[in-house]
Structure 1
């Protein structure tokens, strides 16, 4: 039995098929068919290319970050629109619950396809394709007259989000310099939280149909934006397109930057990978260079969801009501704003402090805050509702929930995606990345579907279960997760051999 890796098959016969997705930047005006001429002549053909390295990479990151904004908007859409959609379309609560969960189902399908799509047609090509079902999905929801259009739209959105959730962090990791990779990688999660907050906020002022139309905007802007940024240089090198690889890297690092060292390091890694067999046997995945990064990447993305974040955010309004908080909509919007601020702090400090310390702080804070929420709900069941102690316990539950969201946003929200994109070996990245993303979405779906049942069983018990998972996450980080700050992707992957 064997798994197809990233180096499968001959590239000569397929390179022409990829070109429509590769040469879509204004800096590629030198002509697609010719490999002749100096590199500087090719690079100089575009007047729109930004010369400064950091500005160029930041602009590329901000353009692809429109995808995660779409991701977050999709996740946040169902919360403020629930009552209006149920009333206008005469739905049952169970039908709306299906609508809410179908984005996870679509994302699982997208996750299965994402790794191979990103390897075959490139990172930019995958994002272009993912944008189309997102746009069609929002239009279907906006014009829905019954549940069938709602379901179709939600599934299409989910598929696009599944592809985006894998492709964006990989693209950012592959274009970013090693000293900026952590902060730029965290922009992915920051954009997701911005999308969630926008959905919560705008949902308070516009109808659900108008909100669906607004949901079209991120991907509508993303598609033309992709024409003005380069493809991932590491992907181009892996596909044997060396002239395009050098041009892309030079654009990203700036014309005045000497890229010789980085160029040679990437070439050496690609050459080493190309000497391996295209088919990765199942037994070979047990080797340390594959097994350990696979375990870390999949483990972090699974633990991220098992700590209950999707269930808590999806049912935030009802949880706040159970805690005795009446203004649940306003508090939910505040929760979204807190996510953005905490994730922004991570984005700012991640390349200074490192990944491990943020993961340790995050999982420790999550454990402590979930224990506080669990204890508060346990004691509330034994205290009269009109007593002062009951009010104190309600406040403690609210504080614990806010502390949990802050702790999650400081590390476990953004960093698992960054780690996954950094540590997976190049020759199994498409396969392993797709599996890791699928695992994340499958776990998210399970948590979302079981959260309400668990809350009905015991609210305190539910948070106790999540607290145990958060404690296991802390142990996992301490024992297994390496520090990747300040190291090139090639250095990280060589360290597992």
Structure 2
């Protein structure tokens, strides 16, 4: 989730640097807008695809693969020589943060203790704010090309480290067996933890909801069911009001707004 903060905070520091007299890349106001907004254009594509892929291939797989476009995007931005290169790099980053948006939240809530899910659920927003703050701090002391390289290294580090993560017990319960889910749950709990009641709750939940692999037709029917549409509309409305309040605008243009 910190990488998402990196993506949103980057434009606030790169655009003022591109305006500098000694900048090797000259940009117009129109290009500045593209640099700032390209990630929001490609992020929804990654979000939609990522939501499908985490159910098909697993949370762990998306925690790993979601960093690939981020690595490409940041590395390409670091060596950019034209405004178009920066915009293209931002496109890859936008697609990458779309893929990375849902997997960490889903993974954390599925592996943590049930009574800790509310607290853990607040961590992603804190991590995003941390990423934005880090970008602002780095932008005050080093050039945007170096910041892009640092961001690429960070994503590459997570790509490597996440290979050691086990899959979530809930996903294994859906796609594999109870035994594999039980083995996986042991990895997330203390040695003296009585995990049997928790695994029984997962089994009961699976039986009550008939969790199984759905056909494409069944997935579409579930997608447009009332139980799916109501929370979707609720979250869409919440996001709409958040965007209209200027949350993204502030993070993307922070430096410019503070200089006015």
Instruction: Report the Cα offset of residue 307 of structure 1.
Output: 2.4
The higher-RCO structure (CA 8 Å, 6+ apart) is: 2
Is the 8 Å Cα contact of residues 110 and 161 (structure 1) preserved in structure 2?
Answer: yes
1:75 equivalent in structure 2? 8
2:124 equivalent in structure 1? 188
Q: From the superposition, tell whether residues 271 and 301 of structure 1 become closer, same or farther in structure 2 (CA, over 3 Å).
A: farther
Q: From the superposition, tell whether residues 82 and 318 of structure 1 become closer, same or farther in structure 2 (CA, over 3 Å).
A: closer
Q: Distance in 1 between matches of 2:69 and 2:143?
A: 22
Q: Distance in 1 between matches of 2:219 and 2:6?
A: 38
Report Cα offsets for 1:275-313 as digits up to 9, x if no partner.
Answer: 6875156598454x4444333333333333232211233
Structure 1 SS opposite 2:122: helix
Segment of structure 1 superposing worse, 221-230 or 155-164: 221-230
The runs of 5 or more residues in structure 1 that have no matched partner are 1-67, 323-497
Equivalent residue runs for 1:147-226 within 5 Å: 147-226=83-162
Q: Which has the larger radius of gyration?
A: 1
1:230 equivalent in structure 2? 166
Report Cα offsets for 1:410-435 as digits up to 9, x if no partner.
Answer: xxxxxxxxxxxxxxxxxxxxxxxxxx
The runs of 5 or more residues in structure 2 that have no matched partner are none
2:227 is aligned with 1:294: no
Instruction: Please tell me the root mean square deviation across aligned C-alpha atoms, in Å.
Output: 2.2
1:139 equivalent in structure 2? 75
Q: Distance in 2 between matches of 1:235 and 1:202?
A: 38
Is the 8 Å Cα contact of residues 69 and 218 (structure 1) preserved in structure 2?
Answer: no
Q: Distance in 2 between matches of 1:284 and 1:156?
A: 28
Structure 2 SS opposite 1:257: coil
Q: Distance in 2 between matches of 1:172 and 1:212?
A: 27
TM-score, normalization by structure 2: 0.89
TM-score, normalization by structure 1: 0.48
Structure 1 SS opposite 2:206: helix
Of 28, 33, 48, which aligns to 1:112?
48
Q: Distance in 2 between matches of 1:178 and 1:146?
A: 50
Report Cα offsets for 1:149-183 as digits up to 9, x if no partner.
Answer: 21221111111100111111111111111221122
Q: Distance in 2 between matches of 1:76 and 1:211?
A: 11
Q: Distance in 1 between matches of 2:112 and 2:6?
A: 26
Query: How many residue pairs were aligned?
Result: 254
